[in-house]
Amino acid sequence: MTKVSDPLTINGMTVKNRLTFAPTVKFDYAGEDGRVTEKHVKHYTERARGGLGLICVEATAVTPEGRFAKNHLGLWEDGQTEGHKAITEACHDQGTVVLIQLNHTGITGNPIFGTPVGPSAVTVRDGSMSHAMSIEEIHEMQDSFVSAALRAKKAGYDGIQLHGCHGYLINQFVSPKTNLRDDEYGADKALFAAEIIKKIRSECGDRFIISIRTTGAEPDAKSAIKAAREYVDAGCDYLQVSHGIDSFTEKLKKEGEPYSDLAALGVNMHKAMEGRVPVSCVGGLLTPEPVRYMIENGLTDTVDLARGVLADPNFANAVLNDTAYTKCFECERCQYGPGTKHVCPAELKRQKAMR
């Protein structure tokens, strides 16, 4: 039986246990220059010390136009590389493997950066139309991801994760709702990301982890598995599964299983991959028991932790060693967001009553 404390090999690199930190953006940490700050370094250092086997640093823009907002971490220029070295060194000092998530917002881009771009011209949030990328623009965008990956390698990251879900650019190429193209990038909706993976492998070498955070059901589970297999064929080493543009309607979780419908997408992908590459699950895994259950029953190779590790940097140690921890209170709006701190619902109610 596999245990959460058992090591795992990803592309020849040993991850010391099965617990990973999912990328969670800290919107109020970066400045307009997109550079790493001391807040970032402290944030990831604390969580590396907390026992995680692998950390995936938050979504990092590959172009300035692909940011969520002006205070968004970036790797679109060489001057941003140096600051990331403090993060990678801190993680490596704790024996933690560290990746960085590379992202472009695509048609969900902030209008302050100009007309959003994507695979097709579709209506965006302000009612205007996005710009449909030409073939030349697609190739330029792919090169931006590759250049960011090279900067990540120079900064000491063990690899990168492409953000291929949650409605951002790579996900937009996969979804039939946002990819209306009649060329090769419409016929093969995984092609955009698959070509990025091939290019990163060519430029960054064999001993560099390439992961993708991919959808488990976009537009359905069968299609998502097909896309994931194409990514693996292209050179992807590790699949971290979440959701896409639409709310998924397929209920893949077996009755009585102690994990969420979202986590079940990863379980389904893990089964489909048949051990070709490691697969990670995410979704409401906030206490040690379901985390251990999923690993010990062979339902996934790793578990991506987010809110649990935000609530307590030592949550991974609690899972590994059965020690006490500060529980995530599942606030309606996560209290670990910009300008807030993590407090329980009762405390929030008390604070409101005093106003």
Domain-located, residue 181:
yes
**Rounded mean pLDDT of 36-41?**
96
Answer for the pair 334, 310: CB distance below 8 angstroms, yes or no. Answer: yes
**So what's the pLDDT on residue 253?**
79
Q: What is the DSSP letter of 189?
A: T
Task: Identify whether 352 is part of a domain.
Answer: no
Domain count, the chain: 1
Task: Let me know if residue 276 belongs to a domain.
Answer: yes
Look at residue 55 and tell me whether its pLDDT is greater than 60. yes
- Candidates 26, 37, 101, 48; CA nearest to 341 is 26
State the CATH number of the domain containing residue 68: 3.20.20.70
Burial of residue 167, with CB atoms counted within 10 A of its CB: 0-12 exposed, 13-18 middle, 19 or more buried = buried
Any domain includes 313: yes
Given this model, what pLDDT does residue 341 score?
58
**203-245 pLDDT, tens digit each:** 999 999 999 999 999 999 999 999 999 999 999 999 999 999 9
Please report whether residue 121 resides in a domain. yes
pTM of the prediction? 0.94
> What is the tens place of the pLDDT at every residue in 293-326?
999 999 999 999 999 999 999 999 999 999 999 8
Question: According to the model, what pLDDT value does residue 221 have?
Answer: 95
On whether residue 99 sits in a domain, the answer given is yes
126 pLDDT band, cuts 50/70/90, is confident
Q: What is the pLDDT of residues 138-168, one digit of tens each?
A: 999 999 999 999 999 999 999 999 999 999 9
For residue 331, pLDDT over 90 is answered with: no
Domain that holds residue 82: 8-328
Say how far apart CA 28 and CA 313 lie, in whole Å.
Answer: 19
In a domain, 69, yes or no: yes
Q: Does residue 114 form part of some domain?
A: yes
